[in-house]
Structure 1
Amino acid sequence: MTIWIIQRAGQAVLVALAMALILFLGLHLIGSPIETLLPPEATHEERLRLVADLGLDRPLHEQFFLFLKGISQGNLGISYVYNEPAVDLILSRLPATLELAFAAVILSVIIGLPLGLIAGHKPEGLLARSIMTGTILGFSLPVFWIGILLIIVFSVQLGWLPSSGRGETRMLFGVAWSFLTWDGFKHIILPALSLSLFNISMVARLTESGVREAMTSDYVRFARARGLTGNRILSVHVLKNVMIPVVTVVGLDIGQTIAFSVVTETIFAWPGAGNIIIDSISALDRPVIVAYLMLVVLMFVFINLVVDVVYRLLDPRIRLQGE
């Protein structure tokens, strides 16, 4: 197991290096920030001076090695727009994004898992068919439309929940969190629900297919022959096997939810890293774009590594094959 973890960590480092190269080349293809940073009346000497200050006059390979050196040191430059270290700027907003993403993932498990169990246990029933039809809507409806609809219904018409902002926060371990206060908790419900709808549908579908497959297996027949009730078979024996693919998907969904929470943050005016990255893309603020994307890449790689380890712990067959 230890050797496998070391090998998997080495693969993760190679993936991170490959993604860094792709990111570096992609940023150089989208254009130069010089035109954005300088006014139209700037002289040629001012342009050359700014190019030299940003290191854009160096050969491409030297820029890439400096880029890797900055990543290893946690220094990805100073924001062109905000005039502060890009990593610090993203990290100051990242807790809000992480809080929203984890709230969405928790909602997807809390709601999607029971729905999938119900639909898989009695697949021919009206309730099961309704749940599966609802998952199709969850896959099909765009996130921005869901967010606007939730605001119209729950904020404008009913007035139950706030429509924007993060609300009151409370400090824990030196970081401000919304879920620790009632006002902040109310503010996070709508954006988390909007962001989690696709994941709820995914978890419900995976759980439903896993339950239907497990209910026809030999160990379920033996459990019935021993006189165990249907609820115990479903909640103990079936659920344990169903959780293996669900854990994998949920683990990957954490990184995906963090990466694609930009739209939700914009709709609900959630003060996370998504708002900054939108402004930085418009201004070609390379240090901020790089800092955000590299943090997302590193989180993806780390989460994938953790999911692989948990997967092997949940399924003994994977460990035996590896050995």
Structure 2
Amino acid sequence: MKQQSKLWMSIVAAVALLSACSEQTTAPVEQPIANKEQTKEQTPVDFTLVESTNQPFSISLLPKFSLEAEEPRKDVVMHESEQEQWMRIELLPKDASNEMETYAKERATAISEQAILFEGTLPFENAIAYEAHVDDSVVYVIGVTEDAPMFLTVFTKKEENWLDTFMTMAKTIERKKTETNEQTKEQFFTYKSSNQPFQANILNGYMAEAIEPGKDMIFLDEEKASLTVELIDEGADWSLVAEQAEQYVKASSKDGHVEKITWTKGAHLNGSDVYKSAIEDGEVYVFVVKNEPAMRLTIFIQQPNELDAFLQMAETIERID
């Protein structure tokens, strides 16, 4: 009897053990992960659809980002507080896809000779990208070679890299049917100086001409509002250039007061030392630009709203040695 009882207890124990093993094997261990992924996918992204007034496209922007026209055929996406991190958008003609790799490499190596191919992931089926490291920053030059080719240039930081954030917005870019050239032909003309080795896009209504050796002027009325361009050669004494700029502004000032600021807007002019002062009928600004092409820009304006147009044209200046 005792042996039958022991046998019965052994059978019950074995059944219980098998049952426990069965429950452990069939437990839905993947379910919590699936739920997390599903929750993530269902979280709405707070985009704002914005249309460019400068190029024929629209883009959806994340909160605290804005779209601004930088110059003809170029827009920038900027954050309201992190202005050192931004993305330039440049639509291109359809035939540009054929030379995209060459263009992208040239642009990247102009930023840094050590630029390398970007091996990360981009939200485009066909794109070529390079990355260039400059001090504590990274610049990504991305040539998209799909049906609507474009250049995307992302300026971000090594320690706080926002490439993915900008790509999240870039993948929403939708190009309108209007060709880029059709929209921009009426906005500007390209001025090639016969006096200095540079060219610039000049807004319609403005004029440009050489006024003396080493100086070209862009103006609506040279007696009222104007921009004078002086290229500065490599190896210049920057302390002397700065001293001359300050002295010039002081001499033009109505009260001898000169304000010095560091410019934080745009792409090429960003980081320039600026000397400014009030004059009898407006304001004078002298920009000392150390970025390539290095130059000194002297701007006279009578109304505050005249400055933006000159800065927009100044951003397009390119050396053509």
TM-score (norm 1): 0.22
Higher share in strand: 2
TM-score (norm 2): 0.22
Higher share in helix: 1
Q: Which has the higher contact order (CA 8 A, sep 6+)?
A: 1
Give 1 or 2 for the bigger CA radius of gyration.
2
